[in-house]
């Protein structure tokens, strides 16, 4: 691919330059002194007339620039640059790829691809682009994905709501090759291999919740007695844990997800896992009314706070499920509790857990602080990119 010099440039204000020095991956519109170019263009970034890097320009959202490179001589961002970054990101996943064929290959700015994620499910790669800039490079990237990963198909799952903010259509399509409706992938957890089905063209997210992988393994290592997997989706916490627990129960409100759970239960030869369709709020309440108790409980709800305005209601929801779950555990019982709300900080979530324990009149030790899976790296300068919080609490 021949490269053109970068035509357009954006100049940072003094304040914008200070902000850029924090190494945050974005620059907001208010921090631009001047801008030229259209939505999705790759532009030179200037400060006092001097080139300091290159970035994707966004003209629709508050985020004006997403850094591609910080350098006085930025490279022409063409196929070669993307191939190098993709190959490096892929190589970083090698230790994980030895244990599973389902993993994230590209995680946004943390892998040098602002606005883009690429997940691999065995022979299929699924990408999601959330910005106009990322959208422009998709054709070139699709080509490189086939070359670097050796997959048979590349599909775009671009049905995300946030794309509307960027003026992008919501759509899903096959970019390369042919994609089976269903793929069986595997994870070699601490108690052995678990196989599970993924439907990349219609499942939640790009097909599965890859970001919880190592947390599932940590929970399985500590499995014992009665194990409750609440907000289970296809029961991946329960499937791993069932190898050690006496009994595993997966609760979710989605019939489709529970069907996948039942299929995986059979395929893995597991006989002590029960999938139950229920609202977790009701299930926990009724379980305590029935006088049940559990040895291990996982709470992995969807993001209750999708934006800042929803935080207060979300906090009430987190407090309630955690309080109820805490009350269902006896001494020595473990709670593996998660929040994937980008707008709720780790400290904010801990505060909710303290209130929940107060409400449950129970004492807990915080025995492990965990986060998102290793293939979803956090950008140090962007605290919210550590979106998944996972704590293991022990009742005493
Ligand atoms: N633990 C799963 C991912 C869970 S995602 C894994 O590791 O793969 C959150 C799940 O919560 C989704 O499957 C969704 O169907 C379910 N869900 C959302 N609200 C619910 C509710 N009130 N009761 C039960 N399940 C719910």
Question: DSSP letters of 287-354?
Answer: HHHTT--EEEEEE----S-SSGGGHHHHHHHHHHHHHHHHHTEEEEEEEEEEE--TTS-HHHHHHHHH
Q: Which atom of ligand 1 is nearest to the CA of 280?
A: 23
pLDDT bracket for residue 160 (50, 70, 90): confident
The best mutation among 194, 233, 297, 324 to test binding of ligand 1, ranked by most ligand atoms within 8 Å of the C-beta, falls on 233
Which residues, 6 or more positions from 309, have their beta carbon under 8 angstroms from its beta carbon?
A: none
283 C-alpha to center of ligand 1: Å? 13
pTM: 0.95
Phi, psi of 153 (to 5 degrees): -150, 150
Q: Does 237 contact ligand 1 (Cβ within 6 A)?
A: yes
pLDDT bracket for residue 1 (50, 70, 90): very low
Strand 63-70 relative to strand 42-47, pairing: unpaired
Q: Which atom of ligand 1 is nearest to the CA of 298?
A: 1
Q: Does 214 contact ligand 1 (Cβ within 6 A)?
A: no
Q: What is the mean pLDDT of residues 47-69?
A: 96
81 C-alpha to center of ligand 1: Å? 38
Q: Does 209 contact ligand 1 (Cβ within 6 A)?
A: yes
User: 87-122, pLDDT tens digit by residue?
Assistant: 999 999 999 999 999 999 999 999 999 999 999 999
Q: Does 304 contact ligand 1 (Cβ within 6 A)?
A: no
Identify any residues that bridge with 57 across adjacent strands, giving them in sequence order: 65
């Amino acid at each position: 691919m021949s490269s053109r010099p970068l035509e357009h440039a954006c100049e940072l204000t003094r304040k914008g330059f200070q902000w850029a020095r924090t190494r945050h991956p974005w620059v907001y519109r208010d921090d631009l002194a001047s801008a030229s170019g259209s939505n999705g263009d790759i532009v030179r970034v200037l400060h006092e007339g001097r080139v300091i890097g290159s970035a994707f320009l966004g003209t629709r959202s508050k985020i004006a620039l997403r850094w591609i490179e910080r350098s006085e001589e930025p490279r022409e961002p063409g196929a070669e640059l993307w191939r190098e970054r993709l190959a490096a990101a892929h190589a970083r996943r090698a230790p994980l790829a030895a244990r599973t064929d389902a993993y994230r290959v590209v995680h946004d700015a943390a892998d040098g691809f602002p606005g883009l994620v690429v997940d691999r499910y065995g022979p299929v790669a699924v990408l999601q682009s959330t910005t106009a800039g990322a959208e422009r490079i998709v054709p070139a990237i699709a080509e490189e994905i086939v070359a670097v990963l050796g997959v048979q198909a590349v599909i775009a799952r671009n049905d995300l709501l946030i794309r509307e903010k960027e003026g992008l259509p919501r759509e899903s399509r096959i970019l390369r090759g042919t994609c089976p409706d269903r793929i069986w992938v595997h994870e070699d957890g601490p108690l052995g291999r678990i196989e599970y089905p993924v439907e990349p063209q219609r499942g939640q997210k790009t097909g599965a919740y890859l970001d919880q992988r190592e947390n599932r393994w940590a929970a399985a290592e500590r499995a014992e007695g009665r194990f409750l997997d609440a907000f289970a989706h296809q029961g991946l916490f329960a499937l791993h844990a069932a190898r050690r627990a006496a009994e595993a129960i997966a609760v979710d409100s989605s019939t489709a997800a529970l069907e996948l759970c039942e299929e995986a239960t059979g395929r893995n030869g597991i006989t002590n896992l029960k999938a139950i369709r229920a609202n977790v709020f009701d299930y926990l309440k009724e379980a305590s009314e029935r006088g049940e108790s559990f040895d291990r409980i996982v709470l992995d709800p969807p993001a209750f706070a999708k934006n800042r305005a929803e935080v207060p209601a979300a906090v009430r929801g987190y407090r309630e499920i955690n309080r109820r779950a805490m009350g269902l555990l006896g001494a020595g019982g473990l709670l593996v509790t998660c929040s994937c709300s980008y707008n709720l900080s780790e400290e904010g979530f801990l505060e909710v857990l303290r209130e929940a324990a107060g409400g449950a009149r129970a004492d807990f030790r915080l025995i492990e602080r965990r986060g998102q899976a290793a293939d979803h790296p956090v950008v140090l300068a962007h605290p919210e990119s550590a979106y998944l919080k996972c704590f293991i609490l022990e009742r005493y």
